[in-house]
């Protein structure tokens, strides 16, 4: 394979297993939504190329492997970091890789290319990659999380584009962009992509507006969020015993995902998401409203648990869930259970699957429920919720924290909860088609 790469000659025979680099995906962040996207993306890739070798590009700070149990296989994923630290001489530093890529393009001489590929195995991996697939953490193709995240993502994506490699954007949210420079960077990436998937119809229009094309662009396509394809895996037996004992004691089990980010005031403590009501009041109102029924119990489900974190952190759902239980346990003894084990994305989906109903602020906690035919109310703080719910005919289950007050939300949750049986039947009809569409995402991809 390297002979073809170094010489620049086109391949004329099958070069063996496809080599795919997956960007914007990681199992190391503690955000189980990001991990769910990573696992589901790998599942999509292997559905098209069974023996593909997948590398997680830009995942973590150190090289290594991630072992993923998938359909009875131990799928080994290579992890290749891209560093942006002060040590520019590191072989995995962005500047080193970008300079090598530029020299490769500008000096297309055999001896130059052979030297570049032999001196740096990280750069050689980029050269040997057949296709780069970007999931952007689902919603990081935007500047709402700050310019630093956007710029680092842009620089990482620029590497395969400099090398003129196939580049596919997996289903995600596009925008919003608050700055002109952000839109310029987004446009540069979109114009060079081979295929652009959006996980909602509004995203297609937004991407089309960024491209500035008046006619239909065949590269723009719709597909549901890939996490609809995630399989559930049982946790350890010890954890299951405690959980099942709680579940068996209560006829109706409601899952509640509490966002630590909103619970602790957002990144700035200045209500940057524009919530109408105090988030803690919203959560308290939901708990009090649903637990009025004596046969209902609640499982508090964290979906973001940063590793090495500390109490009160801006991102820690587990700390927020524990605080909710501590404040309300006396009022509802033995009816609030916090999922505290060390669960991965598929195991937490299994836990959610034990519930009859879910209310979630982290969107992928809701997808974990919906994809199992469980009605889920999404407490939305951004535009991404409605479009994703709409893909499975569940847009009426989205409640907007930016426009609805605490009492309005509690009443709406009560109303939706009362119709959960009919909603579950509707989901059972819709979900299989969405999952099949994700499964076939790369069906016609030709590398």
Each residue's pLDDT tens digit, 370-403: 999 999 999 999 888 999 999 999 999 999 999 9
Q: Percentage of residues in the chain with pLDDT exceeding 90?
A: 79
Distance of CA 77 to the CA centre of its chain: 17
Place 194 in a pLDDT band, splitting at 50, 70 and 90: very high
Task: Report the alpha-carbon distance of residue 48 to residue 31 in Å, rounded.
Answer: 27
Tell me what percent of the residues of the chain surpass a pLDDT of 70.
94
pLDDT at 383: 83
Compute the average pLDDT of residues 286-300.
97
User: From start to end of 283-335, where are the E strands?
Assistant: 296-300
168-182 average pLDDT score: 94
Gyration radius of the chain over CA positions: 23
- CB of 170 within 8 A of CB of 447? no
Alpha helices (H) in 75-215, listed in sequence order? 94-106, 110-119, 121-128, 147-162, 180-192, 201-211
105 or 15: which leads in pLDDT: 105
Those residues with Cβ within 8 angstroms of residue 101's Cβ, 6 or more apart along the chain or in another chain:
123, 126, 159, 162, 163
Token pair in block for residue 280:
């803690």
DSSP 395: G
- H or E stretch at 357: strand 357-360
Give the three-state DSSP class for 287: helix
Looking up tokens 């394809």 gives 229
Q: Is pLDDT above 80 for 1?
A: no
Q: How far is CA 353 from CA 32, 224, 342, 427, in A?
A: 15, 20, 17, 14
Nearest CA among 159, 214, 166 for reference residue 193: 166
- 441: nearest Cα among 174, 172, 215, 66: 172
Yes or no: say if 6 and 121 are a contact pair by the CB < 8 Å rule.
no
| Cα angle 125-131-133, degrees, rounded to a multiple of 5 | 105
Rounded average pLDDT over 23-33: 94
Residues in Cβ contact with 401 at an 8 Å cutoff, skipping those fewer than 6 apart:
262, 273, 275, 276, 277, 279, 282, 361, 379, 380, 381, 409
What confidence tens digit (pLDDT) does each residue in 331-376 have?
Answer: 999 999 999 988 999 999 999 999 999 999 999 999 999 999 999 9
| Of the listed ranges 35-44, 281-290, 360-369, 380-389, the one predicted with least confidence | 380-389
Per-residue pLDDT, averaged over 50-65, amounts to 92
- For 175, the token pair is 């925008």
Give dist(CA 439, CA 304) in Å, integer.
Answer: 26
Tell the burial category of 12 from Cβ atoms under 10 Å away from its Cβ (0-12, 13-18, 19+): exposed
Question: At 243, is the pLDDT very low, low, confident or very high (cuts 50, 70, 90)?
Answer: confident
Residue 209, C-beta contacts closer than 8 angstroms, at least 6 positions apart: none
- What is residue 291's predicted lDDT score, i.e. its pLDDT? 97
Between 146 and 296, the more confident residue is 296
Token match 């055999």: residue?
110
Q: How far is CA 255 from CA 97, 271, 314, in A?
A: 45, 26, 22
3-state helix, strand, coil in the chain (%, to 5): 45, 15, 40
pLDDT-derived band at 10 (thresholds 50, 70, 90) equals very low
Count other C-beta atoms under 10 Å from residue 338's C-beta. Answer: 20
- Per DSSP, what are the bridge partners of residue 376? 358
DSSP 236-256: -HHHHHHHHHHHHT-SEEEEE
Average pLDDT of span 246-259: 94
């Amino acid at each position: 394979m390297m002979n073809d790469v170094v010489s620049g000659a086109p391949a004329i025979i099958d070069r063996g297993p496809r080599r795919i680099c997956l960007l914007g995906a990681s199992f190391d962040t503690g955000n189980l939504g990001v991990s769910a996207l990573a696992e589901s993306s790998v599942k999509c890739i292997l559905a098209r190329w069974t023996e593909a070798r997948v590398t997680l590009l830009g995942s973590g700070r150190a090289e290594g492997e991630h072992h993923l149990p998938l359909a009875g296989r131990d799928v080994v994923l290579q992890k290749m970091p891209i560093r942006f630290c002060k040590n520019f001489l590191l072989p995995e530093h962005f500047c080193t890789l970008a300079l090598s890529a530029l020299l490769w393009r500008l000096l297309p001489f055999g001896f130059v290319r052979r030297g570049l590929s032999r001196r740096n195995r990280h750069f050689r991996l980029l050269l040997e990659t057949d296709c780069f697939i970007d999931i952007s953490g689902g919603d990081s193709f935007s500047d709402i999380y700050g310019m630093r995240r956007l710029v680092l993502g842009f620089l990482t994506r620029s590497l395969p584009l400099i090398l003129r490699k196939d580049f596919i954007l997996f289903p995600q949210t596009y925008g919003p962009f608050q700055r002109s420079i952000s839109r310029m960077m987004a446009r540069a990436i979109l114009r060079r992509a081979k295929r652009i998937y959006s996980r909602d119809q509004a995203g297609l229009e937004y991407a089309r507006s960024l491209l500035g094309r008046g006619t239909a662009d065949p590269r723009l396509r719709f597909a549901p969020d890939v996490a609809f394809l995630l399989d559930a895996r049982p946790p350890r037996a010890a954890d299951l015993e405690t959980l099942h004992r709680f579940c068996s004691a209560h006829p109706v089990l409601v899952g509640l995902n509490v966002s630590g980010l909103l619970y602790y005031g957002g990144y700035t403590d200045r209500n940057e998401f524009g919530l109408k009501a105090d988030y803690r009041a919203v959560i308290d109102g939901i708990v009090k409203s649903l637990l009025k029924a004596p046969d209902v119990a609640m499982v508090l489900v964290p979906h973001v648990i940063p590793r090495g974190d500390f109490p009160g952190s801006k991102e820690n759902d587990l700390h927020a869930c524990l605080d909710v239980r501590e404040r309300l346990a006396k009022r509802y003894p033995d009816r609030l259970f916090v999922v505290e084990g060390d669960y991965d994305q598929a195991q937490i989906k299994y836990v959610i699957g034990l519930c009859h109903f879910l209310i979630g602020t982290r969107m992928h906690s809701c997808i974990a429920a919906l994809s199992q035919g469980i009605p889920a109310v999404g407490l939305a703080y951004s535009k991404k919720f409605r479009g994703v719910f709409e893909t499975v005919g569940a847009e009426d289950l989205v409640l907007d924290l930016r426009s609805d007050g605490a009492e309005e939300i509690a009443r709406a949750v009560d109303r939706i909860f009362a119709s959960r049986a009919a909603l579950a039947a509707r989901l059972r009809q819709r979900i299989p088609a969405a999952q099949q569409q994700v499964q076939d995402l790369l069906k016609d991809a030709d590398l």
